[in-house]
Chains A and B, each alone.
Chain A
């Protein structure tokens, strides 16, 4: 087994322009899809002084239980309007307006249709009109902006997500570091290709120290399941005193062993080494030239990886394309995924069929 040489070789590194690619987060469907809309009735508030009373009374008749994100009252869009405020009366699904009204008489629903309660005080409320309101709270700024065009909603912004979507999450120094690791993965992919393997490479990094723990490339000609990620996971196991396969024939596949000095003192005391020694890929980051397949993506869940960066998408990819295993609700571990790192260089390695 090769131990990794310290990085004496100077990185050619800037072979790629870091400005030529963008890192984009791969978000869950919930975060990336458009927010669905519900049909509702709103009405103008013709007497502003009645606003708080109307909101209170309406919320008794139609509480809009699952729509806490909806702001019940909005300022009227049209500034020249005689009534400055509008209020949500109810969802279309909250009431059963006789269809005859609409089909035969072309008459829209009236307040009495919507507020059947006998003692409702209609004072200050104008005739209802249909609107569409967001069915759930927006999770990202783009969703918030689109949702707000229909009706105002509350929004608890995740600044990291907002920056991520604008491609501004990483500083130029961080981006240079990401590029350095991905360059190592690209070089590994090329070494693999020279051996007749698929041109896919991967690097596992401990972000706390900045140290590369494992470098691997595809070995499917030796073993049909040895995708670059599977190779790296086993190399990390080697680094921790485990491991299954040998890689002598493949010098580009290498690892850095955990420093036994660092952990020696702790493991002798209460035998609580579990909390001190590195545990599979917990806390580690993966840089991989192409989007992992289902097998590799789930192997990363089992291995507790903390973040994944990839270059090119894969047709059956499981971190964005076919599945989003990194944010699959039922699974017990989730991680952040970013795509587009050195995209062109990675796509050139993996031409789409």
Chain B
């Protein structure tokens, strides 16, 4: 295991690449969070925010239980980091500048922008997010030219990607407990986004029908 960032790392704003053992350790914890999401009827995405070898935030998708489509694992974990900072009277952006996100699925466009706004410099993730991905799959927000939207960040993709995909597949195969009367079902892999109910929801609205069919 490597040591914490040195003083000069912090001063230069540079960032050490996490070692293989660090990646394995934190990602395995992120996968546990994803399993927890799965057990709670949420899209199986889990993540950790790690600062100086300390886990400042842990999160899993909780969109269905909060009825807020932005409650992705990353947003939940970021809230914990903010709280940690506020207890210590630290500037969250300064702390986030030295924090790595470990997440089972590529962050969506919303989360990628949020990570930029908080200056998180590095994201280690499992599988791609073909439907909503903000680190290249749909848009590349992570390295986009957005001077008014925080700072860009680097990504290390592909850690246990197949496993992350399998979990999503498992989720999309099972009945969505939040929708009693699914009208449309699709056997497709649809990573983390907001609202799983899209696929199975009874679709009264024309757009919804179109959306479900085109998924």
Residues of A in contact with B (beta carbons under 8 Å apart)? 223-225, 230, 233-234, 237, 240-244, 270-275, 279-283, 293-295, 298-299, 301-304, 306, 314-316, 322-323, 325, 328, 330-334
Q: Could you tell me which residues of chain B, from 149 to 179, have a CB within 8 Å of some CB in chain A?
A: 149, 178-179
Is A306 a contact of B66 with CB atoms below 8 Å? no
Which one, B82, B109, B148, B202, contacts A316 given CB within 8 A? B148
A294 lies within 8 A of B109 (CB): yes
Would you call the interface of chain A mostly helix, strand, loop, or mixed? loop
Q: Considering the complex, give the chain A residue whose CB is closest to the CB of B178.
A: A274
Q: Decide: B69 and A303 in contact? CB cutoff 8 A.
A: yes
The smallest C-beta distance from A105 to any residue of chain B, in angstroms, reads: 49
CB contact under 8 A between A240 and B195, given known A294-B141, A322-B146, A332-B211: no
CB pair B201 A274 closer than 8 Å: yes
Contact indicator per residue, chain B 101-145, by CB within 8 Å of chain A (1) or not (0): 000000011101110111000000000000110100011010011
- Cβ-neighbour of B138 out of A271, A273, A328, A333 (below 8 A): A328
Q: Which residues of B contact A234 (CB under 8 A)?
A: 68, 70
Contact check, B181 vs A331: say whether CB atoms are below 8 A apart. Answer: no
Q: A302 to chain B: which residues have CB within 8 Å?
A: 69-70, 108, 110, 132, 193-195
Q: How far is it, in angstroms, between the C-alpha of A304 and the C-alpha of B199 when the chains are bound?
A: 13
Contact of A294 (CB < 8 Å), options: B149, B180, B195:
B149
B146 / chain A contacts, CB cutoff of 8 Å: 294, 316, 322
- Distance in angstroms between the alpha carbons of A282 and B69 in the assembled complex: 11
B66 near A315: Cβ-Cβ < 8 Å: no
Q: Does B73 contact A (CB under 8 A)?
A: no
CB within 8 A of A279: which of B65, B118, B201, B215? Answer: B201
A223 vs B69: C-alpha distance in the bound complex, in angstroms? 18
Q: Which residue of A lies closest to B62 (CB)?
A: A244
- Complex Cα–Cα for A233 and B71 (A): 11
Residues of A close to B70: CB separation below 8 A: 230, 233-234, 299, 302-303
| In the bound complex, CA of A271 to CA of B182 (Å) | 12
B92 within 8 A of A: yes
Q: Which residues of A contact B211 (CB under 8 A)?
A: 332-333
Residue ranges of B at the interface with A (Cβ–Cβ < 8 Å):
65-71, 75, 78-79, 82, 92-93, 108-110, 112-114, 116-118, 131-132, 134, 138-139, 141, 144-149, 178-181, 193-195, 197-198, 201-202, 204-205, 207-208, 211, 214-215
Verify A314–B67 contact, CB threshold 8 A. no
A224-B93, A273-B180, A322-B146 known; A298-B67 Cβ under 8 A? no
**Nearest chain A CB to B17's CB is how many angstroms away?**
26
- Rounded to whole Å, the gap between the CB of A216 and the closest CB of chain B is 13
Q: Shortest Cβ distance from A238 into chain B, in angstroms?
A: 8
- Partner pick for A280 among B67, B114, B149, B207, CB 8 A cutoff: B67
A332 and B198 in contact, given A225-B117, A302-B110, A314-B148 (Cβ under 8 angstroms): yes
Q: In this complex, which of A230, A281, A283, A333 has the most chain B Cβ atoms within 10 angstroms of its Cβ?
A: A333
Q: Which residues of the other chain, B, contact A325 by a CB distance below 8 angstroms?
A: 109, 139
Residue contact A225 to B181, C-beta cutoff 8 Å: no
The CA of A35 and the CA of B25, in the complex, are separated in Å by 53
Whether the Cβ atoms of A295 and B117 lie closer than 8 Å is yes
Pairwise interchain contact A225-B202, C-beta atoms closer than 8 A: no
Return B77 CB to nearest CB of chain A, in Å.
Answer: 12
A244 to B69, CA, bound (A): 11
Nearest CB in chain B to that of A270: its residue: B180
B117–A224 contact, CB under 8 A?
yes
The docked-state distance in angstroms from the alpha carbon of A283 to that of B205 is 8
Q: CA of A237 to CA of B113 in the docked complex: distance in angstroms?
A: 21
A293–B146 alpha-carbon span in the complex (Å): 10
Contact of B118 among A224, A270, A273 (CB under 8 A): A224
